[in-house]
Amino acid sequence: MDKYKTKVLKIDPSTIKFDNESNEMEISDRHTKDVLEEAAKLLQESQVVGFPTETVYGLGASSLSSDAVKRIYEAKNRPADNPLISHISSLEMIKDVFHTELPEIYKPLVAKFWPGPLSIVLPNTPECLVSPVVTAGQDTFAVRFPENKVARALIQFSNIPLAAPSANASTKPSPTTAEHVLADLDGKIPLVIDGGQCTVGLESTVVDGTVDPPMLLRPGGVSLEEIASVGNGWEKIVLGKKTAGQYEKVRTPGMKYKHYSPTAKVVLFEGYKNALEAISEYRKGHDVEGKKIAVLRSKYWSECGKDISLIIDLGKTGEEIQRNLFAALRTSDKEEVEIIYVEGVEEEEHGLAIMNRLSKAASEIYTK
């Protein structure tokens, strides 16, 4: 039985402004302010709220309240050993709220990429107030300062850091619109703030500078190459494991369990620059007669042949592909597609994050 009558309240992000120097906020629209105040009140009462970030829509609750964070896991049906990222609205919150010092290695990184789609792993000190439910009982926790003005404003209004995984049912593709959130969580949460489509479209990059050499735990909105270019030890950055073992503790979301998968079967093709060749290869070993099939194409695929019910162009650049990927998977499900053929991309720049998500969504992978 549904617990809530979920409200979706649309606001205008352009009415929210921040001063880059002081981080002071100004909101010119009364409705936008009212919605944010309503959402902040729910968060202060240990409830959960769906809200936009530049990466994907998040499902937020106070990082300092175990009761609040448990509601995230309940709404998403998320495994309890999968840690969460805490979102802040200023660099000062690391010291003032978490009682943790920012390690030197991160200072040039956050200077360049915060606010933005980058999460950093920090040591979980005895003085830190973050809930053990957020950290899954580990000695580290991850923090992000989002760029999205709605997210920043919501954190400022509530005056608490927000633990916020993607606002989808666990295992499903991450949501990049308020409609996606409602499709998965209607009746399970009290409120979704509709701030428009997410601009990045994939979750944040997660890096760990508490180890030597520093490690990329999850590729995302900031590329490996961009991080390495900062120097200060980041030129030595290494890739972490893509998938953790069944009993292995993980420092970041996305390393364990099934992720990002639509109901339809996803077939990923790596290195196939011709769609007809790729599709022919799959059909050699599978009977697709009468199946409803979609194709998600990007840089190289053009002609896809007959018997294709739906063709979605993801875009040509890495930024376009990652912005459109999750929405395309959800559209395929909405159209009741049974099989999705996906054109893979090279694992460089944004392609590393794109292929990370696709490899976890895929039921089968064909490599040329």
Q: Residues 153-176: pLDDT tens digits?
A: 999 999 999 999 999 998 899 999
pLDDT band at 248 (very low <50, low <70, confident <90, very high): very low
**How does residue 252 score in pLDDT terms, banded at 50, 70 and 90?**
low
| 86 in any annotated domain | yes
* Amino acid making up residue 196: G
Rounded Cα gap, residues 156 and 147, in angstroms = 13
CATH of the domain at 234: 3.90.870.10
What average pLDDT does range 308-332 have in this prediction? 96
* 93 found inside a domain: yes
66 is in an annotated binding site: no
What CATH code is carried by the domain that includes residue 289?
Answer: 3.40.50.11030
Question: What Rg value do the Cα atoms of the chain yield, rounded?
Answer: 20
Whether residues 213 and 270 fall in one domain: no
The SS3 call for residue 179 is helix
Can you name the residues that pair with 42 across neighbouring β-strands? none
259 lies in a domain?
Answer: no
Stated as kind and residue range, the H or E segment containing 41 is: helix 30-44
pTM, to two decimals: 0.91
SS3 216: strand
β pairing state of 118-123 and 49-51? unpaired
Same domain, yes or no, for 221 and 286? no
Residue 275 φ/ψ, nearest 5 degrees = -65, -40
- Element spanning 178, H or E: helix 178-185
User: Facing residues of 85 across strands?
Assistant: 142
Count of domains in the chain? 2
Query: 111 in helix, strand or coil?
Result: helix
Whether residue 357 is annotated as binding a ligand: the answer is no
293-297: strand order across its sheet: 310-313, 293-297, 339-343, 265-270, 364-367
The answer to whether 225 touches 43, Cβ cutoff 8 Å, is: no
**Are residue 50 and residue 161 in the same domain, yes or no?**
yes
Domain endpoint, select from 239, 255, 287: 239
Cβ atoms of 60 and 87 within 8 Å: the answer is yes
- Residues 226, 272, single domain; the answer is no
Q: Would the annotation count 282 as a binding residue?
A: no
pLDDT confidence band for 253 (50 / 70 / 90): low
Residue 26 has phi, psi (to 5 degrees) of -135, 130
The pLDDT value recorded for residue 244 is 42
154 contacts: CB under 8 Å, gap ≥ 6 = 36, 39, 40, 43, 49, 51, 60, 162, 193
The verdict on residue 244 lying in a domain is no
Whether the per-residue pLDDT at 310 is higher than 80: the answer is yes
Same domain membership, residue 210 and residue 289: no
Within a domain: residue 235?
A: yes
Question: Is there a single domain that holds both residue 209 and residue 171?
Answer: yes
Q: What is the mean pLDDT of the chain?
A: 92
Beta bridge partners of 193: 9
* First-last CA distance in the chain: 48
Do 275 and 172 sit in the same domain of this protein?
no
Tokens read off for 116: 């933005």
Q: Which range marks the domain in which residue 301 is found? A: 265-367
**Can you give the pLDDT at residue 13?**
97
pLDDT at 236 over 70: yes
Would residue 143 count as lying in a domain?
A: yes
Q: Is the per-residue pLDDT at 257 higher than 70?
A: no
What amino acid occupies position 360? K
* 281 pLDDT tier (thresholds 50, 70, 90): very high
Question: Token pair 């930024």 is at which residue?
Answer: 319
Classify residue 253: in a domain, yes or no: no
- pLDDT tens digits along 70-83: 999 999 987 777 78
The answer to whether residue 250 is domain-embedded is no
What lies within 8 Å, CB to CB, of 111 at 6+ separation is none
62 and 200 within one domain: yes
Q: What is the pLDDT of residue 3?
A: 82
**Which residue has better confidence, 289 or 342?**
342
Q: Looking at the structure, do residues 204 and 318 belong to the same domain, yes or no?
A: no
Q: Is 148 annotated as a binding residue?
A: no
Does 82 show up as a binding residue in the annotation? yes
pLDDT for 138: 87
Q: Which pLDDT score is estimated for 322?
A: 96
78 known member of a binding site: yes
Q: Annotate 151-175 with DSSP letters as a single string.
A: HHHHHHHHTS-EE--BSS-TTSPPP
pLDDT at residue 48, rounded to an integer: 97
Q: Which two tokens stand for residue 94?
A: 């690391």
pLDDT at 4: 85
Q: Are residues 83 and 226 in the same domain?
A: yes
246, pLDDT greater than 60: no
pLDDT digits (tens, 9 = 90+) for 87-133: 999 999 999 999 999 999 999 999 999 999 999 999 998 899 999 99
Residue 174 annotated as part of some ligand binding site: yes
Q: Say if residue 271 is in the same domain as residue 362.
A: yes
Dihedral angle computed from the Cα positions of residues 282, 285, 287 and 291, in that order, rounded to the nearest 10 degrees: -20
* 260 in a labelled binding site: yes
* Residue 321 sits in the same domain as residue 222: no
